[in-house]
Amino acid sequence: MCEFCATPGRHATLARRNFLQVAGVAAAGLALAPRGALAKEPPKPGNVLSPDAALDRLMKGNTRYVDGLTARHDFKHEREALSAGQNPFAAVLSCADSRIAPELCFDTARGDVFVCRVAGNFANDDIVASLEYAVAVLNTPLIMVLGHDACGAVDATIKSVKDGTALPGHLPSLVAALKPAVDAVKDKPGDMLANAIRSNVSLNVDKLKAAAPILKAAADDKKIRVVGAVYELKTGRVALLS
């Protein structure tokens, strides 16, 4: 199990940063990291980066991936270090689509990227809480919301909104989450699906930046960057949104 989950009988306190104290994270039960896990040298010292450096590393990894020149990662010899903790240099909120794998498209190894995935790459409360953990406990300096072209979840939402029909099962919850992005572009020129995909990324970037108290405080203090991007299925290229 991951470090976030496997902490039976251990109740670490999170007196790590001022904004954590304000948030009352420890009282809320987020203190799941083993005591002193990040007080010593991190498992991957090379992952201790500024937000800008983290984004640069992420995008350079994508360039290697697109060019077919991915690095050879030493999974065997890093296992021992990672068994004691993690300090990913980036967090990615990605669609659950099987064609998009953030760890691969950014040419990263284990322990490098903290990934949250849900169809439509939107930030619900569980996603926000997971990213709060990445920032507050793991000191992750970068969050990327990663959409992709031809997103089936966004396309289904467009059709549901246009037809006024409800989808079966639990799918209406996805429609409700993605509808604001569709509504924002329905009167704009161009391809509605492409516009809605970009709109959905932008709206969720804004939501994460404003997610008080933890993510907002970290973003306001320039301790993290929150950026949006879209993955191109045909090329594998990740294009940052301005």
Residue 11 lies in a domain: no
57 lies in some domain: yes
CATH label of the domain that carries residue 233 = 3.40.1050.10
User: pLDDT band at residue 135, thresholds of 50, 70 and 90?
Assistant: very high
Query: CB-based contacts of 11: which residues, under 8 Å, 6+ apart?
Result: 31
Pinpoint the alpha helices (H) of 83-167: 102-105, 125-136, 152-163
Residue 30 domain flag: no
Structural domain for 86, as ranges = 45-240
In-domain check, residue 27: no
Domain count, the chain: 1
Give the separation between CA 207 and CA 18, rounded to whole angstroms.
Answer: 22
Q: Is residue 223 part of a domain?
A: yes
What is the reported pLDDT for 125?
A: 98
Establish if 94 belongs to a structural domain. Answer: yes
Residue type, 208: L
Question: Is 3 inside a domain boundary?
Answer: no
Q: Give me the residues paired with residue 92 across strands.
A: 115, 144
Q: Residue 144's CB: how many other CB atoms inside 10 A? A: 26
Q: Which of 232, 241, 242 is nearest to 105 (CA)?
A: 232
Whether 180 is in a domain gets the answer yes
Which pLDDT belongs to residue 165? 87
Q: How confident is the model over 7-60, as pLDDT tens digits?
A: 444 433 333 344 445 445 433 444 444 444 445 789 999 999 999 999 999 999
Which tens digits make up the pLDDT trace of 178-200? 999 999 999 999 999 999 999 99
